Amino acid sequence: MTMNFKDPVNLFKAVYSVGLLIFSVIYIMGMIGVSETKLSGDVSPALAYFAIWGAVLWLTMVEGGQASLVGLDPVNRELYKDSHPIAYKIAEVSNQGDNLDRYLLGRQFMVVAIVFIVNMSGAPNEGAELWGFPDVVTDIFLGSGLAMILFTCMVGQLNTQVNASHCMLDYIDNYFGYFTFWVAMAIEFSGLLHASYVVAMIVSWLAGKKIESKEPPREGFQLAFFWARCLLSIFILAMCFAVTLSALFNDQTTMWQDVPPEAAIVVFFILLCVVGMLEGMQIAFFAVAKIPEAERGESLFAKKTCSLLFTGEGTNLPGFMIGRQLCVVSCMFFVARVTSVSLDEGEENIYGVSDSMQELFNTGLLGAHIVTIVGSISWQLVASAFPLAFLANPATYYLLRLCLFLESTGICTGAWVLAAIHKKICGFKRDEEYIGTAEERAKTAFKDESAQVGVGHMIKLPGFVENAPPALLELLEKNPNVSQYINSVIDDVESAAKSESGAAVGAEP
């Protein structure tokens, strides 16, 4: 999806969005400078500055790397072996077996953990004030977290997705991307998130569908090692819940003081559900896009959701993706505030653990682990197996409405301005200049392969790509409505599978 700034409405949105972003960044940096955030107050403003900018810049590669690697997965890597050697090195590993799914699983945790680090570094302490701004300004930008949300969404996520979806090769062809890829692979290998595979197996059994894998079944030591990590992951997840719920019950988190512990726990689980719904909606929407309208069931809300998503000019699909990003990041910041442990001076450590272990609790990483598995991956797995049931949920329809409303405000339009500046500075070129279009490749010996979809494979809707996935292209000849929809959303319909993917299930260690 491209942004036409010659349109007066889009131009206005871009100007006010960039203005809000600049003000938000200045506000956040000012709060850090006067030690009014957790990290700047507990340690030093210098460390907080380093942490927040380092985290957001790393987030750009985590998000952009995902768009690049998923988009390049069906492309024969020999086409860019000489022009983009580092991208080729990454693809050599990611294209083997189920490695792409392993990378995406580890990458999911990285996104959540980075958002928690940004929150710890830049989120203001309760009651913080700066430069005598009126209370209404403080409440809007600091109290609601708007400044942090705009900063993270536009700088760390949306602008990089815009460029990486069109310039995959140039974006990933550097050692920063290479390092990020291996960090994600290491996180998955550690077994920290292997509870997700157990969830996938349960979902697969409930759906009565087998999880497809590019690798042979596990045997011997490999099988034992896999299940050992699954058990370890389940134990760690249970420990995270135990510590987090204990802190919430005893009012030992950074939750606002006026909120009673019981309400904090309710808010915590509601936020997990909202994040999960938003994550699963992408999977369900992609699956339903491949199902003929007559087979989408008789549910009132499923019909209303599909009608809203696929009708008209087709702008509701990318609009949902942008609004969804805002909602997810907002919820993650609130979850970070709810789950980050904070003990008063002299207060006994939770469960009597050592000081070093308590410091780990205080980082908020336990909350990040819960959100990754319970609030994100699990819901995506359920949506991949039961997309129609997911759409029949009334919450899906109302969340879609909310996402479309947020996008219509234009509050994140500044991301396209940042993307244009970033592209100009780095000299990114479209992938077609290096490897041709999917149609051109199809006429040679380097025809694209198909992406792996189905139960356990969390293929998501394209957010900012111009090339529709093959599954949708196959419908163009069968259903003219689908053709009209695709042509209105994308600029040039191609057959490359450039959809966002989630963690796969059944991947070997």
Note the pLDDT tens digit of each residue in 206-229.
Answer: 877 777 777 888 888 999 999 999
**225, two tokens:** 């090692």
Note the pLDDT of residue 466.
41
Higher confidence at residue 439 or residue 63? 63
Q: How confident is the model at residue 465 (pLDDT cuts 50, 70, 90)?
A: very low
User: 3-state SS of 6-54?
Assistant: CCHHHHHHHHHHHHHHHHHHHHHHHHHHCCCEHHHHHCCHHHHHHHHHH
The DSSP annotation for 354-372 comes to -HHHHHHHHTTHHHHHHHH
Note the pLDDT of residue 59.
92
In the predicted structure, residue 492 carries a pLDDT above the cut 90: no
Higher confidence at residue 41 or residue 183? 183
Q: Which of 96-110, 222-236, 376-390, 433-447 has the highest mean predicted lDDT (pLDDT)?
A: 222-236
Mean pLDDT for all residues in the chain: 79
Average confidence (pLDDT) over 400-421: 86
Note the pLDDT of residue 181.
94
Q: How confident is the model at residue 495 (pLDDT cuts 50, 70, 90)?
A: very low
Average confidence (pLDDT) over 75-80: 84
Higher confidence at residue 355 or residue 225? 225
CA distance 503 to 483: 29
Note the pLDDT of residue 184.
94
Least confident residue range of 76-90, 166-180, 462-476, 487-501:
487-501
Model confidence pLDDT, tens digit, residues 86-133: 999 998 998 888 888 889 889 888 988 888 888 888 878 777 777 877
Note the pLDDT of residue 416.
84
DSSP β-bridge partners for residue 501:
459
In the predicted structure, residue 321 carries a pLDDT above the cut 90: no
Note the pLDDT of residue 219.
87
Radius of gyration of the chain (CA): 22
Note the pLDDT of residue 174.
92
Model confidence pLDDT, tens digit, residues 17-37: 899 999 989 988 988 988 888
Average confidence (pLDDT) over 185-191: 93
Note the pLDDT of residue 480.
47
Whether 451 contacts 459, CB under 8 Å: yes
Least confident residue range of 52-61, 220-229, 287-296:
287-296
In the predicted structure, residue 200 carries a pLDDT above the cut 90: no
In the predicted structure, residue 140 carries a pLDDT above the cut 60: yes
In the predicted structure, residue 483 carries a pLDDT above the cut 80: no
Specify whether the backbone of 192 is left (phi greater than 0), alpha (psi in -120 to 50) or beta. alpha
In the predicted structure, residue 379 carries a pLDDT above the cut 90: no
Whether 118 contacts 155, CB under 8 Å: no
CA distance 197 to 396: 25
Q: Which residues contact 154 (CB under 8 A, 6 or more apart)?
A: 17, 21, 412, 414, 415, 418
Least confident residue range of 263-277, 294-308, 369-383, 461-475:
461-475
Average confidence (pLDDT) over 133-162: 82
Rounded to 10°, the helix 220-249/316-339 angle is 70
Higher confidence at residue 18 or residue 338? 18
- Planar angle of CA 383, 387, 389, nearest 5 degrees: 105
Average confidence (pLDDT) over 445-458: 56
Average confidence (pLDDT) over 124-151: 78
